[in-house]
Amino acid sequence: MVKVNATLDQNACEQIVQNLSHILADTYITYVKTQNFHWNVIDERFHSLHEMFEEFYKQLAEANDELAERIRMLKMKAPATMKEFLELGTLAEPEESLTGDEMIEELMHDREAIAQHIRPKIEESIKLGDEGTGDLLIQHLRMHEKAAWMLRSHLSNM
């Protein structure tokens, strides 16, 4: 039997990977949604929203890669299909076309939801002896919080 990680026990690795897989799923769903909005935004602020959504989906692509690679470092298989992401994730795709403000709100709520999911997983990872995952999740928490703030700043009613 191959030991998952020399410094972590099997149960700890499995719990950490389960947590990372859920975060990866929601991050990937948000990535697809952000790219959709980049392609399909119709708004008087088209150029600025188009550019912002592009910046965000590129950022999310990098985040997805980091999460999947961390799962692989723990010698487990990373989820990698839309079917898996939709089963593991808590976020949903929009059912209809959205206005620019609705797109911004949708992405802001997704980023806030992911941040809420990440917070307790940081401490849990560290308690399980995986400071590397804890550090990665802290970086991702800051990324999602900053994106939520930037999105919120585009909405005058917030």
Lookup: tokens for 52: 């912002």
Quote the pLDDT of residue 6: 56
User: What is the identity of the amino acid at 52?
Assistant: M
Q: How far is CA 155 from the centre of its chain?
A: 22
Could you give the CA distance from residue 23 to residue 80 in angstroms, rounded to a whole number?
13
Could you give the CA distance from residue 64 to residue 23 in angstroms, rounded to a whole number?
9
**Residues in Cβ contact with 17 at an 8 Å cutoff, skipping those fewer than 6 apart:** 71, 74, 76
Q: Are 148 and 71 in contact (CB under 8 A)?
A: no
Quote the pLDDT of residue 2: 45
Could you give the CA distance from residue 28 to residue 23 in angstroms, rounded to a whole number?
8
Lookup: tokens for 142: 């800051």
Q: Helix, strand, or coil here: 38?
A: helix
Task: Report which of 19, 11, 10, 53 is spatially closest to residue 133, judged by C-alpha positions.
Answer: 19
Task: Report which of 44, 5, 26, 17 is spatially closest to residue 90, judged by C-alpha positions.
Answer: 26
Per-residue pLDDT for the chain (158 aa), expressed as one digit of tens each?
444 555 788 999 999 999 999 999 999 999 999 999 999 999 999 999 999 999 999 999 999 999 999 999 999 999 999 999 999 999 998 988 999 999 999 999 999 999 999 999 999 999 999 999 999 999 999 999 999 999 999 997 65
Q: Helix, strand, or coil here: 98?
A: coil
Instruction: Please identify, in words, the CATH class of the domain defined by 10-152.
Output: mainly alpha
